[in-house]
Amino acid sequence: MARALTENGARGSADAWHDAVGRHRPAHGRLISRVIAAWVLVASGVLSLVFPALAQSRTLPTRLGGAPGGSDVAPGASASAAETAGAFAPFSEVSPAEAGVLAFSGPMAADRTGRLLMVVPAGDGYGVLRLFPALQGTADVPFETVYRRKGVVASGLAVGPDGSICIGWNGGLDCIDPEGRVGHLADNLLVGTIAVTIASDGYVWALRSAGGGTSDLQLVRVDPGLTRAQRVLTLRRTVQGFAGNGLAAGPGGSVLLPVIENGLHRVLRVEADGQFSRVQGFFQLGGGVVLDGAGAVYVPGVKRPQSTQEQRNPQDVVFVHGDGIAAEWAARFPLQPSGARFSGHLALGGDGTLYLTRWQRVMLGGAPAERFVLWRVPVGRAGLTARGNAIDFRIPFLNALANPRLDAPHYAGPVVAARGAVVELLGINFDGKRGQRRVLINGEPAPIQVWTEDRILVRIPLTAPGGPVAVQVAIDGVVSNEETLEVKTPEVPGWFQIGSPAHAATLRQLSTVSGYSARIIIAGVTDSGERVHLEETMETPGLFQIRLPNGRYQARFSAAYLQSAVMYGNNFSYLGSSFAPVQVPEQATAFRISDQNPVVVWTPDLMASPPAAAQPGHQPGN
């Protein structure tokens, strides 16, 4: 017997429930192999889903391709355009083809030309990769980096009808328009984002988990200008969604959401006002959903077993559902006796190619291994990006700055250089687009000395202000991320450093050293004639930093610590421990801080030779 569709207690008959979910038919540019190596080798009951204050259940529209009762023409397209996209063309099952073996998989999208995009971890942030320019067999899948960002982990990717690319991360959105301009939004309503999509009206939707994981779900809608996020729908905590590509643009500004509740698998259509309807039920979903321009829905999953053999060895398929389509699935995948699973990552391009990845067994070098396999499914019906633009360039990414004159590889402070000095910029995609090339320091163009794909030498303008300034790489209106440079002037103090992060790490790891204490005395005269006398301690053993104005100085360093030793007898039996104080003799150095010499790094002996080990029984400890 059917349960309540919503919490208000509205009920339907068992036949109505069967109609709703049970009557589906029987069940290249520059390649970045170096980047890949660095990075990667590096839901439902009877729809008791929503709170009635936020949404109401509606009857399933008879035609999915438009508003309820409307036509199958994709939003914004004419009837002839829909026919061109194959809206009324016969549909038959197609054969998937292996496109490559990957060590990674991430949320996917595809543009008007059918080029595949994927977002993956990169350093402490993420990178958007693009398949370039076409697949090269099954051994090597060449990608290039379109965009990178530091400091956040991506969880969703989408291409909009106009060609814009949006990346969802845990707490915000980054969107790239067709001109290469990047917009950002951080909002508490986007914390826990697990999938994103761009609707036909330009609004960005995010599926988030308020409690973590893939349950306790909410749908959030963000305006096209990335200025305001609004919660549209809250599902019951028992409803499970899918991370990665578990949200897709639907017709008329709606979105499609695959869910599982009480073991029942289905796809919902959710409108901008939070109202929802059931699209179709499926035996078992594998994660992810896409819609083509004719209104057909594609979801990977497992077909209903028709035999004991199929129960033991499930058949992976891509289900398809749409008006005029008799087939239950678009493609069946080769059986995997050892088991396989879809990643939940898929995309449908404007050329009618459906991409997805599956974790399965492969042969690498004659030996079996488990990897992600990228599959191409030529469904022949274009995705919703078919009429948009395609971003065919790469956005510059600034990874780090350096002062080439600073001969101090252990320096741990900011990059400091004087006006007129040359600074090195390191990154990628500096040749990612044709156009006017500039380096902006504090928003002003700086004289360029050398420009390559991953390295630029630029001179700091004589008019640059002192102190921290922003540095960016720009090609026409496409601008990189910011890095900070400190312009040294007489008013801006320099840096004096003792030790290094490597020394600090070594001292932390030495279990035989405890109680490390260092005394530092700095004395001198500034260029303005002021005397300086400082007595400091090394709070972080192995690393000390201080800012000093231009002048001449002398520094003295001394330290002490306890050295422990553990003594063992025959058969490695424990005999005892000894602790001995160690004194590091005082050391001194003279140095000068100036605009042309803004950083001084001194590495004295931070440890001394330990005294002779005590004999067993002397100063025993536990």
More confident residue, 24 or 520: 520
**Model confidence band, residue 506 (pLDDT cutoffs 50, 70, 90):** very high
Question: pLDDT at residue 138 above 80?
Answer: no
599-602 and 494-499 as β-strands: parallel, antiparallel, unpaired? parallel
**Model confidence band, residue 611 (pLDDT cutoffs 50, 70, 90):** low
Lowest-pLDDT choice from 23-32, 353-362, 500-509, 548-557: 23-32
Distances (CA, A) of 565 to 68, 568, 585, 612, 621: 79, 10, 22, 10, 10
Lowest-pLDDT choice from 175-184, 220-229, 304-313, 580-589: 304-313
Question: pLDDT at residue 328 above 70?
Answer: yes
pLDDT (tens digit per residue) in 273-319 = 999 999 999 999 999 999 999 999 999 999 998 888 878 889 999 99
Contact 4, 48 (CB under 8 A): yes
Q: Which amino acid is at 394?
A: R
More confident residue, 389 or 463: 463
Tokens of 563: 């050295």
pLDDT, average across residues 487-500: 96
- Report pTM: 0.80
Question: pLDDT at residue 617 above 80?
Answer: no
Question: pLDDT at residue 42 above 70?
Answer: no
pLDDT, average across residues 249-268: 94
Distances (CA, A) of 461 to 238, 413, 422, 441: 60, 22, 10, 8
Question: pLDDT at residue 528 above 90?
Answer: yes
CA distance 243 to 57: 24
**Model confidence band, residue 58 (pLDDT cutoffs 50, 70, 90):** very low
The pLDDT of residue 195 is 97
- Quote the mean pLDDT of the chain: 83
The pLDDT of residue 612 is 53
Specify the 3-state DSSP secondary structure of 508: helix
DSSP E strands: which ranges in 365-488? Answer: 367-377, 397-402, 416-418, 422-428, 437-441, 444-445, 448-451, 455-459, 467-475, 478-479, 483-488
**Model confidence band, residue 604 (pLDDT cutoffs 50, 70, 90):** very high
More confident residue, 579 or 199: 199
| Domains of the chain: residue spans and CATH | 14-27+29-42+45-377 (2.120.10.30), 397-488 (2.60.40.10), 494-602 (no CATH)
pLDDT (tens digit per residue) in 414-454 = 999 999 999 999 999 999 999 999 999 999 999 999 999 99
List all residues 6 or more positions away from 283 whose beta carbon is below 8 Å from its beta carbon.
27, 265, 301, 302, 303, 304
CA angle 243, 247, 248 (to 5 degrees): 145
pLDDT (tens digit per residue) in 371-393 = 999 999 999 999 888 788 889 99
pLDDT, average across residues 578-593: 94
> Where does 107-245 have alpha helices with state H?
none
Question: pLDDT at residue 590 above 60?
Answer: yes
